[in-house]
Structures are given as structure tokens and as C-alpha cells.
Amino acid sequence: MSIHSEPRAFAPAVGRWACAAALLALCCRAPAPAPAPAPVDTVDLLSRFPDVDCRSDRLDLPFLLSRSLLKHRGFEEARDPASKASWLWLEEADGRLDLPLATTGAKTLRLTARCKVSQKPQLPVEVSLNGRVLATLAVTPEETEQTVEMPADAQVVGRNELRFQARPKGARARRPLMLTHIKIDPAGPSNGAAPSLTSQGLFLPSGTSLRYPLNAARPGLTLEVGLRPGPSGGGRVRITFAREDGEQKLAEVAANGEATTILPLPPGPLGRLVLTSDGATSIRALRLLVPKRPSSPSPAAAPSPSRPNLVLFVADAVRADFLSAYGHPLPTSPRFDAFAREGWLFEDATAQSAWTRPSVASLLTGLGVDAHGIFGQGNTLVPGITTLAEALHAAGYATAAFVANDVVTPTLGYAQGFEAWKAFPRHPSAEVVAAAVAWMRERPGPFFVYIHTLGAHRPYLPPSEHWRPFQPARLPPRRDVNALVLQPTLAPDEMALVRSAYAGEVHESDAAFGDLLSGLQAQGVQDRTAVAFTADHGEGFDEHGDRGHGIRLYQETAHVPLALRVPGRTTGARIAVPVQHADLVPTFLALAGLPTPPELSGRDLAAPPAAAEPDRMLISRVTYAGADKVAVRWGRLKLIANEEPDTAPSDRFELYDLARDPGEADDLGERRPETVEYLWMESRARRAAEEAVRLRLGAGRKVELSPADREALRALGYVE
């Protein structure tokens, strides 16, 4: 019995020890680690201070000159690199400054000025605010301080125009007045500083407001705010979020110590984050925390031939709406139409610029204009930039270019990476294509070929067989098309003739593209060759008061055709997502199995073709012949910023809804200021990143144009 009782007696003891051990293990187990915070992208809003609407009753000249949303007109800005001081020269007799005021309380304007000795003994200068004359100053050649009172009823909240009108001696006196110091304070003694951004943070005088336009459509946005007391003690910042349907208070944060506050932002459409200081305050941190989107694998695609041949066909000056695939009522582009039905037709492709050199630079580098630096006539593609041809040649591709536009030349760096560069200045498109097809016939592959025809560029000289189908039934008395183009105004029948000649040129370009496709098919390489068709820019016909191209970024010059056919991967589709020139380089690199450098502005169009990026902005730039313009595409919206120095504030920004207004006739800018400011601020951040690339690479270096280069520009109408 005993031998059976011991195990029975021992079993409960073992169970008790087991339970105790389990309990001990449970009690001593390390706590479960906290879940890792969700990954976020951080947007430093302090770095965007120069681009945000900042309103204050304490202003000075350095603050006013640092604001990208403000303009000074009629003044020349000068700087001393050593002291970093800035001052303004009145160019002739009339100059204006924008003042962003927070309230309409009485204020005092203090300025230091002097005139040229030629204006002795004094220069009368009338000072007015929003059209109301405040004082007439007697400015002498000796630098003196002047004081002007600004009554409350002469002011408005927001932007005010401060105007200086001089009455210099002599006709059109040059630079008669210099302003070295401007300061605005609430009425009384001057005892406060203007808003300023330093390495310690952003200083805000009492009553100053910051108005950040933000797109809060993505859920989970949070705001991180860190304050520190101002020079005179702690202040507070009131934080609200304003939309058209009202304003929501988020918090009041005190500047006590170094604490950081995290605030969730209410989800919804575009609005304004408003921060208003109560007491002098310093913001040491202001960051937007944006949840990262989870990455998802691209949809599986049919296998494509390894290392396909690559062909880039650029039809110069062909605007999209003159191709029948894009809605032209006549059959101007039968070969392109058939090609597009077999591949992807991108309905909304944007040129990187309004003239050839910067656009082609983006097509060959994948960089935006602010990155590659091709702004004017003498900028060159520097060796530090790796072109598409260089990357492909290093990977074993044979590379060649066949170019009819002789403003794109090897002397300006465009031939980097091409084994062969064949120039056909202003030759018929068919000849350019024939030479390219002959070269490809001798290459087993893989090869990359860049073909640039000039058919649709002025002068319009279409062969009769291409022009005849598009000529109007009633011809005008004057029939010299290229003489008509130079006339300041045209009768409707004359413009119809000009447009018909252009349509004939488009048809001729289309026929040359058809020759290319036939050549690939005849050689048996069609199924091993990816082909892209686009244009460097479009052409205007008085839609916005301009003919030709080069200085405007409206859709007639910015909207270009783009179609892509990739063997084994295209089944025929129309893609509505907006795309741009710079997308072609990452697309071709991916097709060749090569990585895309992170600094490129584009994305791969072929994987997947219809991927939408809600936050994506497409930026075009033109700085040519006195023009300085930026266009920003964001979905259906388009902002045009006119950055010429003499642009009036009311004309600086134009905003269009292209889905509702494709002809850009209804400017929404004044009705949707928060959208204008958002697109401007976001595009400035993107352009700053591109500019950093340009500075790092030393891009955009200028060279002296040769006589041949200048003649090429003159022959194509770029210079007189």
C-alpha cells in the first residue's frame, strides 16, 4: 500500500511547486514592450516662415524683404554681404511696399533715407498708405530719420500698400532715393522688435499672427508646438484651425519652460492653421507630424522583355489638343492615335517649361528646372548631372540622338552619354527619323534613341499634302502664314489659316512618328522596344494674348501629349492622373532594370500606370525673355505665380480649376486665397529641395554662346 501512497502523497506537492513556479515566473516576467509609434513624416513649419502669411503691428525692413508673399515694386534691393544689411533704392519716382498689419490701431512709421547729391538741397517724397497721403518728406543727401504717423482709419487688417512718390529733378532720374531703415510700431515710443527667425526659434511680438495653409484631408495629422518665454517674460499662443465653415479653437499654450504640446488637427479639407501671440513669445519648435502611408506592392504585371530597347520621340511644339486623340475634330494624328490605343495615353501631361532647352533638360535628366538650372539662353547641363543616356550607356546600352532643333546642342551639355549625336538643323521630320531607323538597323540592342523633330515649330511650312486636309474652305486675302503670325492682330479667317498650317505641321510630325513605328516593325524589334511620344511644349494662338511659346505657362503651352507603349505590359488605357516630363527618366530606368536616384523629380509611369498620389505637385518654370513664372499643378487645380518684379499684387497669382475651366478663363485666386497660399508654400518647399540639388551639383553654369548658337535661337524666334 505504501508504495502506492507515496506517489499519491508526492503528487500534490509537485503540483504546488509547479503552481508556485508558474506564479513566480508570471510575476517576474518583464512587461510587454509598448507598441512602436506609428511612423510619421515631419514637416518643419518654422522653416516655411518666409512663405507664410505673417501679420504684425511691429514691422521692419529685413522682415518685409524676407517675405515671399510680399512684393516691393519700383525698388531695387541691395545687400552688404559683410554686415548682411539690406536697403532699397527707388528705381525712378514711384515705389511701393506691402505691409501685413495685424490690427488697424494707430501706428508710427520711422524711416531713414537720403537722396542723391544731384537732388540737392532736398528731394520731396510723398508718402501714402492705401491711397491716402500721410506726409510729404524733405529728404536730403545726408542720411536722416523721418517720422510719419499712420492713422487707424487709413489701415486695413492684412495687406496694406505703402507708397513713396518722389519728385526728382531731371527727367527719369535714376535711383534718386535710398531707404536704409524702415520700422513700424504701434503709436508711441519704439520699444519692440519685429518678427524674426533665428537659430533659437521664431520670435513673435505680442498680437502677431501666423496663418499656415494646411491640407488636413489625411487623417491622423498632429501638430507639435514648443514655446519659450520672450525677452520680457512668458506669453501665450492661441492656436485655431479655420475653414470656410468656421474657426475651431485647438488650444492656448503658455510659454513656460521648454514643454512641448502635441495637438491633433481636425481632419477635413484645406484650411488655415492660425497661431496668435499674446505677449512677446518665441516658438522654438513647430512641426507637423504626418502619418506615413503603408507601402503596398504594385499590382503584378505581365512579364516584359529583359533590357528592352528604349526610344524617346519628341515632336517639337506640338500641343496636346491639336492631336485627334486629345479631341481635335480633324484627323491630325492617325499614327499617334493607333499607337496610343495600344499603350497608355496620359491625358494630363505637363511640360516642365514653356521652351525647348529647359524642357529637354528635364526629359533627359528627370530633374525639375530648379534642379538642372537651365533657365536662360546660356545655362549648360553640367557634367555633374548624370543624364538618362549616361546611365543607360554605363549599363551596356548603345545610345544615339537625332535632333532637328539646333538650340539643343552638345556644346551646352545635352550630348552627355550619347555615343552618336546627329544634328539635322531644321530638316524635315522624315529625314531625321530615317537616319534614326538606319542607325537602329545596325544595332542588335539594347539601344536608347532620342529623336527630336521640328515640324510644328515656327515657321509653319507644312508640305501641301499635309496642309491641304486642314485648310479652311474660305482663304483670307493675305495668305503668307508666317507674315500673318507676326501681325499684332488677326482677323478670324486669318487666324483660321494660321491654325490650319500648324495642324498640317502636326500631321507631318505624326507621319514621321509613323515612319519610326514602321521601321521598328520592319526590323522585328517592335516587341522588344518601349516607345514614348511627347512634345517639349505646346504653342499659343492668342488664347491668352500670346502666340508661339516661351514666356507663358497656360495650358496651350504647358499641356503636351504623352503616350507610352511597353511591350508585354501595356493593354491600352487612358490615364487621367496628372504626370510630367520628368517622369520619363525614372520610367526608362525602371524598364532597363536600373535604380532611380532619390533626387529625381519624377516617378515611374509603368509601375503601376494609374497610381494616384494625392499630395503630388507638378512644378513648371520659365525664366526667359523677361518672364519669370512658376506653374503648380495639384490634382485639378493649377496655380500660376507671376514673379516679374513689376507685377502688381492683384496679378501675381492666378488659380484655375482645369476640370471645370480647361481654357483658364476664370481666375479663382481672390476667391480661394488659402488654396493659393498653400500651393505657393508647398511648391516653394519643393523648389528649395531642387535648388539644393542644383547647388550641390554646381548645375546651371553659364557659358558664352557661340555665334552658331545665337543664330539658332534667332532663326527659331527666341531672340530678335
Is a pLDDT exceeding 80 seen at residue 705? no
Evaluated on CA atoms 313, 317, 319, 322, the torsion sign reads: negative
Write down the pLDDT at residue 709: 67
pTM confidence score: 0.88
Find the range with the poorest average confidence among 29-33, 82-86, 221-225: 29-33
The mean of the pLDDT values for the chain is 88
Is 107 a member of any domain? yes
Is 570 a member of any domain? yes
Q: Are residues 382 and 479 in the same domain?
A: yes
Find the range with the poorest average confidence among 37-41, 167-171, 451-455, 710-714: 710-714
Residue 670 confidence class, pLDDT cut points 50, 70, 90: very high
Is 50 a member of any domain? no
DSSP strand pairing (398-403 vs 447-453): parallel
Q: Are residues 408 and 358 in the same domain?
A: yes
Is a pLDDT exceeding 90 seen at residue 208? yes
Dump pLDDT digits (tens) for 142-156. 999 999 999 999 999
Dump pLDDT digits (tens) for 620-645. 999 988 899 999 999 999 999 999 98
Residue 18 confidence class, pLDDT cut points 50, 70, 90: very low
Is a pLDDT exceeding 70 seen at residue 12? no
Q: Are residues 396 and 504 in the same domain?
A: yes
* CATH for 70: 2.60.120.260
Distances (CA, A) of 404 to 376, 422, 531: 20, 9, 19
Q: Which residues contact 524 (CB under 8 A, 6 or more apart)?
A: none
Dump pLDDT digits (tens) for 448-496. 999 999 989 889 999 999 999 999 988 888 889 989 999 999 999 999 9
Is 28 a member of any domain? no
DSSP strand pairing (349-350 vs 559-560): antiparallel
What proportion of the chain, given as a percentage, has pLDDT over 90? 69
Is a pLDDT exceeding 80 seen at residue 699? yes
Dump pLDDT digits (tens) for 389-447. 999 999 999 999 999 998 899 999 999 999 999 999 889 999 999 999 999 999 988 99
Q: Are residues 366 and 278 in the same domain?
A: no
Write down the pLDDT at residue 376: 83
Is a pLDDT exceeding 50 seen at residue 300? no
Write down the pLDDT at residue 569: 80
Residue 27 confidence class, pLDDT cut points 50, 70, 90: very low
Q: Which residue has the higher pLDDT, 168 or 369?
A: 369
Evaluate the omega torsion of the peptide bond into residue 124 and state whether it is cis, within 30 degrees of 0.
no
Q: Are residues 326 and 228 in the same domain?
A: no
* CATH for 411: 3.40.720.10
Which of 263, 291, 319 terminates a domain? The answer is 291
Dump pLDDT digits (tens) for 49-74. 999 999 999 999 999 999 999 888 89
Q: Are residues 313 and 279 in the same domain?
A: no
- Report, as an integer, the average pLDDT of 179-191: 88
Q: Distance between CA 196 and CA 206 in Å, rounded?
A: 13
Q: Are residues 257 and 170 in the same domain?
A: no
Distances (CA, A) of 126 to 119, 137, 180: 15, 6, 17
- Report, as an integer, the average pLDDT of 359-375: 97
Q: Are residues 314 and 241 in the same domain?
A: no
| Beta strands in 155-259, from DSSP E residues, in sequence order | 158-166, 177-186, 196-198, 201-204, 209-215, 222-229, 236-243, 246-254
Report the range out of 261-275, 284-298, 518-532, 593-607 with the highest average pLDDT: 518-532
Beta bridge partners of 73: 96
Residue 294 confidence class, pLDDT cut points 50, 70, 90: low
Is a pLDDT exceeding 90 seen at residue 610? no
Which of 612, 641, 656 terminates a domain? The answer is 612
Q: Distance between CA 241 and CA 214 in Å, rounded?
A: 9
Q: What are phi and psi of 67, to 5 degrees?
A: -90, 125
Is 37 a member of any domain? no
Write down the pLDDT at residue 25: 40
Is a pLDDT exceeding 90 seen at residue 596? yes
Write down the pLDDT at residue 303: 41
- Report, as an integer, the average pLDDT of 211-240: 85
Q: Are residues 85 and 173 in the same domain?
A: yes
Number of domains in the chain: 3
Q: Are residues 200 and 182 in the same domain?
A: no
Is 3 a member of any domain? no
Which of 542, 577, 612 terminates a domain? The answer is 612
Is 669 a member of any domain? no
Write down the pLDDT at residue 645: 84
Is 273 a member of any domain? yes
**Cell 512718390 identifies what position?**
165
Q: Are residues 162 and 217 in the same domain?
A: no
Burial letters 270-284, b for 16+ CB under 10 A, else e: bbbbbbbbbbbbbbe
Domain that holds residue 120: 57-186
Q: Are residues 177 and 223 in the same domain?
A: no
